[in-house]
Chains A and B, each alone.
Chain A
Amino acid sequence: MPSMKTVKRRANAVGAMQQVVKAMDMVATVKLRKVKAQHEALLPFTRAMAQVIRGLQACEGAEDNLFLRARPIHHTAYVVITGDRSLCGTYNSNLSNEALAHMEMGRNEQLITVGAKGYEFFRQRGKNLLHHHTKSSDLATYEDAEAIARLLVDLYSAGEVEEVYLAHTTYQSALSYLPQVTRVLPIGGAQRADAQDECMRYEPGIHEFLTQVVPMYLSAVLYGAMVESETCEQAARMVSMSAAANNAEEILDDLTLAYNRMRQAAITQEITEIISGANTGRSAR
């Protein structure tokens, strides 16, 4: 049986841990609010951008553009978005496993990782890591997305990769997040048949236009994915940290109860000893 001193020490340790966990929960809450605001600010841009891309796809001559046309596939680039830190439940491992499963379906992968956790995961498995992007600040910025988009466009136009997949986490609700792998290049989903709105005029020309628009589109898609993934990460961290705080509370209750019982037992024993001591003293007299 542990001594009173050990129980007291354990209770103190759990108390300290609970404080840390609560602080992390609070930090995650603040960050979650920030990334949600970022996500909302981006929405009009992505919507307008999707419309522009749809308009372009409807145009004659667009289908043989490099970014819209499918080519025979030899190499596939993956952009894997994970967090830099753990303590957020299964967020990082779910995404990494989903991406890994996708790659093992016979793809010749080249990896671009965002976030230290994904980088570690694929480095340990000896995957072909092309580039690791370190975010310039704690939360994703549009500049981060732009840098990756430039790299992707460079690789894609040089013919080093023929398709690009994005592994990210989508936000379903505060408690459920879905790791997903989606194709971003070549841009698919062209519906030439039912495109009723006729092609508008593009200045200087549709191909020059696409050359400028595609990097912007990619940046927007990447930034959106980064922000959404971060939303999931912070939400997951909040959930697991508040669960940890609750668990600490339970342990603390148990320990306090145990400590009080022991203290009570010790007092009772002391009293018994005093009384029996007094009794023997009296009978001896």
Chain B
Amino acid sequence: MYKGKQKLQVKVVTPRGTKVDERADMVILRCTTGDMGILPGHQPFSMLLDYGVLRMVQQDRERILAVYGGIAQVKGDQITILTDGADWPEEIDPVRAEADRSAAERRLAESGDRVAAQQDRALLDRARLQLSVRADQGKSKG
């Protein structure tokens, strides 16, 4: 594992405020092209994010954050993630996520409106990610 002195400054910015502004040894992102690990000193780089978890490795612990799409930019030792939304696992309400999922699935099955369908698909992706993050957390605890 990488044990250098350099650290990454990780910023997760959403329209509702800055979610994360911390240092980390490594981050692993879920990009549209697959998972990607970023270490300090990476070349300048921009990528599209998929709905997925962001893993931040800090010394001996790892924190995860559910990120709902967006983009990431690496510049020097800074990594900035711009996303519509992000949640820590403990902030996710599984009951609400389940309700969102079934509502979105039902609407997608019957609706014909293109713009509304896009919205429902985003909601569905978000709910699915939330549920999987919660499920993983339950496993690691149990």
Residues of B within 8 A of A202 (CB): 46-47
Contacts A44-B17, A142-B16, A220-B15 given; indicate if A150 touches B119 (C-beta within 8 A). Answer: yes
Residues of B within 8 A of A55 (CB): 46, 73
Q: Determine the residue in chain B with the shortest Cβ distance to A41.
A: B17
- Pick the most buried of B15, B71, B73, B114: most chain A CB atoms within 10 A of its CB: B15
In angstroms, how far is the closest chain B Cβ from the Cβ of A117? 24
Q: Which of A42, A44, A154, A200 contacts B44 (CB 8 A)?
A: A200
A104 on interface, CB distance cutoff 8 Å: no
* Count of chain B residues near A, Cβ 8 A: 27
Chain A positions 189-227 with a Cβ under 8 Å from a chain B Cβ:
200-204, 208-209, 212-213, 216, 219-220, 223
B132 on interface, CB distance cutoff 8 Å: no
Encode contact with B along A148-159: 1 for CB under 8 Å, 0 otherwise: 001100100000
Q: CA of A49 to CA of B83 in the docked complex: distance in angstroms?
A: 10
Q: Determine the residue in chain B with the shortest Cβ distance to A152.
A: B115
Q: Is the interface of A mostly helix, strand, loop or mixed?
A: helix
B70 on interface, CB distance cutoff 8 Å: yes
B102 on interface, CB distance cutoff 8 Å: no
Contacts A52-B73, A52-B82, A150-B119 given; indicate if A44 touches B13 (C-beta within 8 A). Answer: yes
A147 on interface, CB distance cutoff 8 Å: yes
A154 and B114 contacting across the interface, CB-CB below 8 Å: yes
Q: Determine the residue in chain A with the shortest Cβ distance to B72.
A: A203
B84 on interface, CB distance cutoff 8 Å: yes
B108 on interface, CB distance cutoff 8 Å: no
A41 and B15 contacting across the interface, CB-CB below 8 Å: yes
Q: Determine the residue in chain A with the shortest Cβ distance to B85.
A: A142
B118 on interface, CB distance cutoff 8 Å: yes
Contacts A44-B17, A45-B14 given; indicate if A201 touches B46 (C-beta within 8 A). Answer: yes
Residues of B within 8 A of A220 (CB): 15
Residues of B within 8 A of A41 (CB): 15-17
A216 and B13 contacting across the interface, CB-CB below 8 Å: no
Q: Determine the residue in chain B with the shortest Cβ distance to A220.
A: B15
Q: Sort chain A's interface into a size bin.
A: 20 to 34
A175 on interface, CB distance cutoff 8 Å: no
A48 on interface, CB distance cutoff 8 Å: yes
Q: Which of A151, A201, A223 contacts B115 (CB 8 A)?
A: A151
B114 and A49 contacting across the interface, CB-CB below 8 Å: no
- Pick the most buried of B16, B43, B70: most chain A CB atoms within 10 A of its CB: B16
A146 and B84 contacting across the interface, CB-CB below 8 Å: yes
Residues of A within 8 A of B16 (CB): 41-42, 142
Contacts A41-B16, A52-B71, A142-B15 given; indicate if A209 touches B115 (C-beta within 8 A). Answer: no
B70 and A208 contacting across the interface, CB-CB below 8 Å: no
Chain A positions 27-70 with a Cβ under 8 Å from a chain B Cβ:
41-42, 44-45, 48-49, 52, 55
